[in-house]
Amino acid sequence: RADSGITDLASTKGKKLGFADPDSTSGYLIPNVSLPADIGAPIAEFYSETGFGGGHENLVLGVLDGTWDVGTTFGSGQGEFSEGYTSGNLRIMVDKGLLDMDDLVEVWQSPIIPNGPLMVSNKLPAETKAQVTAFFKALPETDFECFDAFTAGGYTNFVDAGQPLYQTIIDARKSVIGG
């Protein structure tokens, strides 16, 4: 919170850190593996307590009500912080009237996290996979309103992506679950 006295990452030492959800890439996985390098210590040693806030929106509300001193959530990092960025949980909460960004201070941003992929089952016929892929890639031009709603706004298109784009996420997940 802006009134907490926390102004930067160093000033979060000894505080209670809330993660959004154990299954969240942005709200747990990436902070869990990236934050230690930036704080110079294991999370369990740097923070007095950690836990989960029950999802991104609930975690932010928990920071606002003092349950957590620091919390993880997702935002695009593009555009204005004061508006909750162009997309993500912060922007959704601002747009719903649940959050005034002046009540928060940003103390850390993770490395870039690619958006989750849209996938098609390999069990489908090649023609069906091609049709589904073509539909989504054309959506920004064929029905921008639908595309904008589907992506929660602020995006321009879909692009082809393969495993290399997600390798950091794969490696981070393996470091948490083993294997």
List pLDDT tens digits, range 106-156: 999 998 888 778 888 999 999 999 999 999 999 999 999 999 888 877 788
Cβ–Cβ < 8 Å for 78, 85: yes
Residues of the chain with pLDDT > 70: what percent?
98
Residue 178 carries which DSSP code? -
Cα dihedral sign for 11, 17, 18, 20? Answer: positive
Confidence of residue 179 (pLDDT cuts 50, 70, 90): low
Tell me what pLDDT residue 113 has: 85
Distances from the Cα of 25 to the Cα of 19, 43, 103, 163, angstroms = 10, 17, 25, 16
Residues of the chain with pLDDT > 90: what percent?
68
Cβ–Cβ < 8 Å for 40, 7: no
Tell me what pLDDT residue 159 has: 87
Q: Decide which of 27 and 150 is more confident.
A: 27
Enter the pTM of the model: 0.78
Instruction: Find, among 67, 45, 41, the residue nearest to 54 by Cα.
Output: 67
**Domains (ranges, CATH) in the chain?**
9-103 (3.40.190), 126-177 (no CATH)
